[in-house]
Amino acid sequence: MSYIVDFENVSSVGLESSPVAPALAGLRANEARYFRNKYDHVFTVSPADEVPEVVEWVSRILEDERDIVIGSPPLEATTFAAGGIRFAYVFYESGLSINVMYTIEDGQKRAVGFKLAEGMEVPEELASRFKFARQKSKLAGEIRGSFFVIKGEYQSPSGE
């Protein structure tokens, strides 16, 4: 069952099994606020097991591009298009959020972003490969983030 993320009344619905559930909920709400303000898009997530094609797409990009396999179980995922860009998000039990930004038009921006919820350690599979910058968020506290540029071509879960 999908869930519309409310960034005014932050809830950890769907994220309860995470040891940093309130911070992860804030991180998810922070993303929802961004997409509402920038694209007037309502950020909706589904349990990861209901959208396995989204989790598999993100996982395939990580493995093909950087030989990364995330050890934490995925809790929620979503994919949507806004502003000519295909986005995919996966929120993991550890407090990790991974997003893929993949422009629909060839030759444009394509990247994978990592965000760590406040209170979580950098996952072992990312620790030696990425430096994480810090940013403050009213909804999520301190967010640490990093990214890499996608070099390959990947058909999205929606076939675009």
In a domain, 66, yes or no: yes
Exposed, middle or buried by CB within 10 Å (0-12, 13-18, 19+), for 67? exposed
In a domain, 131, yes or no: yes
pLDDT at residue 61 in the model = 96
Q: What is the DSSP string of 71-122?
A: -SPEEEEEEEEETTEEEEEEEETTSEEEEEEEESSTTS-EEEEEEE-TTPPP
The yes-or-no verdict on residue 158 having pLDDT over 90 is no
76-122 pLDDT per residue, tens: 999 999 988 999 999 999 999 999 998 877 767 899 999 999 999 99
Residues counted in the chain? 160
The yes-or-no verdict on residue 32 having pLDDT over 60 is yes
pLDDT at residue 19 in the model = 96
In a domain, 156, yes or no: no
The yes-or-no verdict on residue 39 having pLDDT over 80 is yes
pLDDT at residue 156 in the model = 74
130-142 pLDDT per residue, tens: 999 988 887 777 8
Domain hosting residue 94, numbered range:
3-149
Tokens of 98: 């991974």
pLDDT at residue 141 in the model = 75
pLDDT at residue 159 in the model = 56
- Total tally of structural domains belonging to the chain: 1
pLDDT band at 157 (very low <50, low <70, confident <90, very high): confident
Average pLDDT over every residue of 20-24: 96
In a domain, 154, yes or no: no
Give the pTM: 0.93
Better-predicted residue by pLDDT, 1 or 19: 19
In a domain, 155, yes or no: no
In a domain, 32, yes or no: yes
pLDDT band at 154 (very low <50, low <70, confident <90, very high): confident
Determine which helix (DSSP H) or strand (DSSP E) holds 29, and give its type and residue range. helix 21-39
In a domain, 159, yes or no: no
CA–chain centroid gap for 104, Å, is 18
pLDDT at residue 160 in the model = 54
